[in-house]
Each structure stands twice: as C-alpha cells, then as structure tokens.
Amino acid sequence: MQQFHAFAQPWWVNLLAIVPVAAYFLWRRKGLRLAWPQMFALSGFALAFGFVEAAVVVYLRAAVGLLPGYQEGTFADIRRFSAIYQQALSLPHFSHVLISIELLREAATMVMLICVALLAARGTRERWACFLWAFAVWDITYYAGLWALVRWPASLKTGDVLFLIPRPWIAQVWYPLLVSALALAAVALAKVKTSARGSD
C-alpha cells in the first residue's frame, strides 16, 4: 500500500494549487464573459486531446519496454501488470533521445493549450480562464484515459512525473487532479456569477 505524500517535488510545484484560487478571487468581481457554447467546444477539444496524450504515453511505455503484457495483445494482459508500473521511477529507462522528444512534446502540448485559449476568447481574463479550463479538462481526461486503457494509475496515491520542464515534477496523482478540479471550479463559479448578474 502506497503512503500518502502531501507535497510534490520540487517545492514550487506545490504553489500551483494557489493559481486557480487566486484567479477566482481576481475574476469574481467582474466575472467572465464566456458563453457556454465556447466552454463546450473548449471542453470537446480538451477531452480529445487528453485521450490522445494518454494514448501517446501508452505507446511510449510500450516502445521502451515498460508496458508488460502488451505483446499478448489484450487489454486484460496489460491491466494485470499495471499496478506494478511506477511512472516516477521510469525516467532512467528513457534514452536521452526519448527524453528530448518528451520535452518537445510537453512544450507542444502547452503551446496547443495556449493557442486554443487565445482563439476561444477575447480579453486577458477570459483567455486565462479558457487556458485553465482546457488544461484542467485535458489533465483529468489524460488520467482517466490511462486508467481506462491500462488501469494506471492504480490509485490516487500513485506517484507520477507531471512534467519534465525545466526539471522533473513529481507528485502523487491526487495532486494534479486536485489542481485541475480547483481550476474547473474557479472558472465555473466566476462564469455562473457573471450569468447570474446578467439575468438581474
């Protein structure tokens, strides 16, 4: 049984939980000028993109020999071994070439999420809200996709490598899911306040 770890590494990764809370307090007075159709389209993109990222990670694990059971060709074979996979301990198994490709993939992911936020809204507050919303939906879908495909993570206390830029961010899975849930709540609450004010 894995132990609960309250903090991510390096220390500054823990500050991410403050971002959605601070954003909500900045948005709550003026609200957010976002239409629900915008949010649904943004969510559709983020859902699809999150699943693509999950599939890429499955392929990457198979390519470096860290996905036991995939040669047998059934999801049941892969899922049987998923509990023993430790993402946070897998970095030494990746070559420098694959680490470089992974760094570029992470940077491209952020560029895509930023670009879709810039296209989805006008105004700095709304674009920032769209980025947080898309990032949160993408992140939650990524973990849900991995769990659906290979039953990883085995629990919310499973350790993960969140990002590699500028150095590896390590945390248990509950932490990025918490930050994503806070981001969704911050955007939704600020949007609901705006909608309620507009109906008065």
Cβ-Cβ contacts under 8 Å for 53 (sequence gap 6 or more)? 109, 138, 142, 145
Eight-class DSSP state of 86:
-
φ, ψ for residue 122, nearest 5 deg? -110, 150
| DSSP for 158-179, written as a single string | -EEEEE-SSS-EEEETHHHHHH
* Confidence at 82, pLDDT banded by 50, 70, 90: low
More confident residue, 83 or 30: 30
Mean pLDDT of 169-188: 96
* Confidence at 88, pLDDT banded by 50, 70, 90: low
What is the rounded CA–CA span in Å between residue 53 and residue 109?
9
Percent of the chain's residues with pLDDT above 70: 82
More confident residue, 183 or 200: 183
At 59 the pLDDT is 84
What is the rounded CA–CA span in Å between residue 138 and residue 156?
17
Query: Dihedral, CA atoms, 28, 32, 37, 42, nearest 10 degrees?
Result: -90
Phi-psi region of 26 (alpha: psi -120 to 50; beta: other; left: phi over 0): alpha
User: Coil, strand, or helix at residue 73?
Assistant: coil
User: Coil, strand, or helix at residue 9?
Assistant: strand
Is-contact 24 186, C-beta < 8 A? yes
Tokens of 58: 């499955």
